[in-house]
Structure 1
Amino acid sequence: MIVLAIDCAANLCAACVYDADAGRELGRKVVDLGKGHAEHLMTIIAEALGEGGVGYSDLDRIGVAIGPGSFTGLRVGVATARGLALALKVPAVGVTTLEALAAEARQGFAGRAVLAALDGGRGEIHAALYDERAVLRHGPMVMTLDEAVRMATETMPVLAGTVANRIAEAAARRFDIGPLTPTADIATYARLAASKAPGVSPKPVYLREADAKPQAGFILPRTGG
């Protein structure tokens, strides 16, 4: 099975071609954009395919990071994955940033529970707890730092994500720490997408409303029939 994985959940705009049967990466392209995913994603996909010597017709599955993460980036990545899947008549599979970070944490701490937690802004933490068998137990959810500390103290998991150190410091206890990044390596998304059974089309995971909202004062009332 040849998988194309896409990640636009954070600053990175990334694509990877992965041979699931051989268990190896064929090609990748990763660019730290910050913004502008929509303008660059198709070029980045084309470069990853070219490096792997793979064409669109060779793809058997599309994997995509579905968040939590950047509102705009998630929309771009998921829309592209769904469009490609429809055009190529192959399944699209969503992978959350939290489960991808947890998977990377388990590479260094096998057989351990993982609390993956990201800074959601506005004092919020976006988190999910996975048990020793990588089964999701809680989340993805919004929680406060105090709530994250309580969960970490009760379960003593490996901590991963951008607020892992903050949770450990607030708990005043020693924890094993996994990746501290806002998203996982693109090959991790490819491996997880290959391992999942296809289901409904992927949708972005939004744990809170977008910061930008229409200005109601500028909306004109409807007139006429």
Structure 2
Amino acid sequence: MRTLVIDTATKACSVALFEGETLSASRFEVIGRGHAERLLPLIAQLPEKGRADRIFVNVGPGSFTGIRIGVAAAKALGLAWNIPVHGYGCLALVAAMARDETPDTLHLDVLMTGGHGEYFFGAFDEANEPLGEVISIKPGQIDAYSHASVIAGDVDLSGTTRNWVDLLPDAQKWHLLRDATPLKPSPVYGRPPDAKPALVAT
């Protein structure tokens, strides 16, 4: 089965094409902004322009805009190709990538840039199962929530006593989540949106 993987939930933009669990081709760029402009050209660079039997997309939490772009593109391609679309968690992939680099680690924590100076935090066990819900925390709360010896993500903690693994999610590492239950292809934001609904006068 051929799988197209789309990841636009962070400042990185990546896509990958798998034949079964074997990586066929991938593209990865750290772009900050502009995922809408880069995503489809990256997919077009894949064999057969990324045509697949199913799609997996990073549903977050992460960048509100990036998540929406990735999910919308995945659903549009799924509809056009008449194939199923599934989601996977941003922090779960980063945790799996970190565990792949530090295989002897039991529990590890993930910290990813959120918004308004906050971080998305999640703890994972040796089977890469979450030890609770992903939450949004402030920098001063890290020690109150994080107790693992290894922390991974895109928040620079290199000056601490922890074993810090600097990582961004990468679509070509999707196979590390092969045993995880697929998520619905719907955004997981991790905190309330910045925009508030307008009040309607009555």
Task: Say if 1:28 and 1:48, in contact at 8 Å, map to a contact too.
Answer: yes
User: Which of 131, 137, 155 is equivalent to 1:143?
Assistant: 137
**Structure 1 residues 39 and 123: alpha-carbon distance in aligned structure 2, compared to 1, 3 A threshold:** closer
For residues 1-225 of structure 1, what are the structure 2 equivalents within 5 Å?
1-20=1-20, 23-50=21-48, 56=51, 59-110=52-103, 111-153=105-147, 156-163=148-155, 165=157, 169=160, 174-178=161-165, 180-181=166-167, 183-189=168-174, 191-192=175-176, 194-198=178-182, 201-212=184-195, 216=198
Task: List runs of 5+ in structure 1 lacking aligned partners.
Answer: none
Task: List runs of 5+ in structure 2 lacking aligned partners.
Answer: none
Task: Say if 2:28 and 2:170, in contact at 8 Å, map to a contact too.
Answer: no
Give 3-state SS (helix, strand or coil) of 1:139's partner.
coil
Larger helix share, 1 or 2: 1
TM-score scaled to structure 2, two decimals? 0.84
Aligned equivalents of 2:55 and 2:107: distance in 1?
28
Report the Cα offset of residue 87 of structure 1: 2.8
Q: Considering only aligned residues, what root-mean-square deviation do their CA atoms show, in Å?
A: 2.6
Q: Deviations over 1:33-85 (max 9, x none)?
A: 322222332221111234xxx762xx122111111211111101011112222
What is the percent sequence identity of the aligned residues?
A: 32
Structure of larger gyration radius: 1
**Structure 1 residues 195 and 18: alpha-carbon distance in aligned structure 2, compared to 1, 3 A threshold:** farther
TM-score scaled to structure 1, two decimals? 0.77
Regions of 4+ moved over 6 Å: none
Task: Say if 1:64 and 1:77, in contact at 8 Å, map to a contact too.
Answer: yes
Give 3-state SS (helix, strand or coil) of 2:67's partner.
helix
Give 3-state SS (helix, strand or coil) of 1:85's partner.
helix
Task: Say if 1:85 and 1:91, in contact at 8 Å, map to a contact too.
Answer: yes
Aligned equivalents of 1:107 and 1:14: distance in 2?
19
Task: Say if 1:124 and 1:142, in contact at 8 Å, map to a contact too.
Answer: yes
